[in-house]
């Protein structure tokens, strides 16, 4: 909004107090596996908004956070990184510093929009 004051024009910024979300929601759907063997060190994530393989390129190298509640209500985070696509339906493979626990299947993860490769 422009305010005229004795011939001077100053601009006051009006910001909405909406929080800025620096992540995209995703779901931990399981581990990479074959018919008989599952490899727990590679997690499969379904990222909201991804529909096919060509959309995955933007998310390669992005950090992933799995946030959970520990004892006494304290929150903890397990960090990982998007490694590559898995199939043609927009699922990605991610590796975490420590493997995600099996009880986290179906849980929400945060795919951070950093580091940027643009």
How many whole angstroms separate alpha carbon 73 and alpha carbon 55? 37
Residue 113 near residue 22 (C-beta atoms within 8 A): yes
**Which run of H or E residues covers position 110?**
strand 108-112
Kindly compute the dihedral angle of the four CA atoms of residues 20, 108, 63, 15, in this order, to the nearest 10 degrees. 0
The predicted structure's pLDDT at residue 118? 80
Rounded to two decimals, what is the model's pTM?
A: 0.82
How many whole angstroms separate alpha carbon 12 and alpha carbon 69? 42
The pLDDT tens digits of the residues spanning 21-63 come to 899 999 999 999 999 999 999 999 999 999 999 999 999 999 9
């Amino acid at each position: 909004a422009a305010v005229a004051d004795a011939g001077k024009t100053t601009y006051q910024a009006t910001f909405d107090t909406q929080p800025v979300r620096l992540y995209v929601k995703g779901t931990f759907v399981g581990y990479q596996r074959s018919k008989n063997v599952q490899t727990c060190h590679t997690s499969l994530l379904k990222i909201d908004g991804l529909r096919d393989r060509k959309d995955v390129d933007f998310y390669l190298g992005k950090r992933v956070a799995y946030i959970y509640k520990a004892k006494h209500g304290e929150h903890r985070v397990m960090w990982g990184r998007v490694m590559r696509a898995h199939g043609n339906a927009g699922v990605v493979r991610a590796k975490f510093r420590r493997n995600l626990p099996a009880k986290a299947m179906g849980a929400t993860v945060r795919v951070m929009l950093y580091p940027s490769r643009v």
